Amino acid sequence: MALSSDRFQAGVASELDTSRAAAQVATTRAAIPTLGEAERRAIHRLGVLLGKSPQELLPTLSVEVAPPDTPPQVPVGLPSDLLCRRPDIGRAERDLAAATAQIGVATSELFPKFYLTAAAGLQSLDAGDLVDAGSQFWSLGPTLRWPVFNAGRIRQNIQVQNSKQEQALLRFEQTVLASLEDVENALVAFGQEQERFRALKESVDATRRSVTLANERYRGGLADFLDVLEAERMHLSAQDFLAQSEQRLSQNLIRLFKALGGGWASETTG
């Protein structure tokens, strides 16, 4: 806008160029309040999620800082053991272990059980001798209990426990498969967005160069001011897309961490 104003004051450009530049500036400024509202809403939401008042995080999160760098690439061949940290897999595994243990408990009911029992007392043919040491007795012997007549009920219970174990196994397998799907989808999304980010970065560099060239041609009287406006519009659009892609990269990385139940240790760390 300053360029068009200077040229208009010098009498080498029309007022139309200045009006077009002012319109471009106003249009760009009009987008700022909407972005500011979205920023405040996100900060308020984070505060509530952390159990704080909506305004409490404003001093911290209102400071402009560069977003953390995303890793250039995800380690290839992430060990499947990382999935064991997921709460849903841990629960399914424990349910399967419990159902398997119940089969052993139910099966053990088929076998006879032996108990060692003891008895003590006084025994004498003469009532006057009951207090003598010779009249005392103590016995120890095994007792056998075998629920033969309940065998049908026990076998049915075993079948029930087997069915529960099979259901727990199926749930465990489905949980693992679903977690693998989450990881694969997150990896694909992260990788594809990285490619998009690199292409958009090249676009920003190219449009920045086009703005410089358009301004030089306009100063030299070789181009119309519409060329300058179009170059600036394309540059702003490319910057906007690049910022959105950077945000999506961070979101996809968080999505991958969530799918894995956490991050991973870098081989170069330490």
Tell me which residue of 102, 208, 231 sits closest to 164, measured CA to CA: 102
pLDDT at res. 171: 87
What pLDDT was estimated at residue 30? 86
Span 205-242, pLDDT tens digits: 999 999 999 888 888 777 777 788 889 889 989 999 99
Query: What's the whole-model pTM score?
Result: 0.61
State the pLDDT at residue 267: 45
- Domains plus CATH for the chain? 1-65 (no CATH), 75-110+148-263 (1.20.1600.10), 113-146 (no CATH)
Measured distance CA(224)–CA(213) in Å, rounded: 12
Residue type, 6: D
Q: What is the pLDDT of residue 5?
A: 60
pLDDT score recorded for residue 129 = 47
Q: Give yes or no for a contact between 37 and 26, defined as CB atoms under 8 angstroms apart.
A: no
